[in-house]
Amino acid sequence: MSNHQCNEHCNHGSDLQKDPEIQKELEVAKSKLVGSLDATSIEKKAVHAHFSHVNKIKTSPTSAHHFVPATKETILWGYFSQVAPSTVKVNSGDFVTIETLTHHANDDEERMILGDLNAQAVFHWDAKSKGIDRRGVGEMSAPNGAGGGLGVHLCTGPVEIIGAMPGDVLEVKIIDVAPRPCANEIYSGKTFGSNAAANWGFHYGDTLTEPKQREVITIYEIDASAENTWARAVYNYRWTPQTDPYGVVHSTIDYPGVRVDHSTITKNTDILKNVRIPVRPHFGTIGVAPKEVEIASSVPPSYTGGNIDNWRIGKGATIYYPVAVPGAKFFVGDPHASQGDSEICGTAIECSLTGTFQFILHKKESITNPSLVDLNYPLLETPHEWLVHGFSYANYLAELGPQAQTEIFGKSSLDLAMRDAYHKMRHFLMTAKNLNEDEAISLMSVAVDFGITQVVDGNWGIHASVKKNIFL
Residue-wise pLDDT for 177-209, tens only, equals: 999 999 999 999 999 999 999 999 999 999 999
Q: What is the pLDDT of residue 33?
A: 46
CATH 3.10.28.20: which residues of the chain?
A: 396-470
**φ, ψ of residue 185 in degrees (nearest 5):** -60, -25
DSSP string, 418-432: HHHHHHHHHHHHHHH
CATH 2.60.120.580: which residues of the chain?
A: 20-181+281-365
Q: What is the pLDDT of residue 228?
A: 83
Q: Which residues contact 211 (CB under 8 A, 6 or more apart)?
A: none
How do residues 229-282 score in pLDDT, each as one tens digit? Answer: 999 999 999 999 999 999 999 999 999 999 999 999 999 999 999 999 999 999
Which CATH code of 3.90.110.10, 3.30.420.140, 2.60.120.580, 3.30.300.30 fits the domain covering 20-181+281-365? 2.60.120.580
What is the CA 448 to chain-centroid distance, rounded? 25
Portion of the chain with pLDDT greater than 90, in percent: 86
pLDDT averaged over every residue in the chain? 90
331 beta partners? 287
Q: Which residues of the chain have pLDDT under 50?
A: 1-17, 29-59
Domain 396-470: give its CATH code.
3.10.28.20
pTM: 0.89
Neighbours of 179 (CB within 10 A): 23
In the chain, count H helices and then E strands: 8, 24
Measured CA to CA, the distance from residue 10 to residue 436 in angstroms comes to 23
What is the CA 20 to chain-centroid distance, rounded? 28
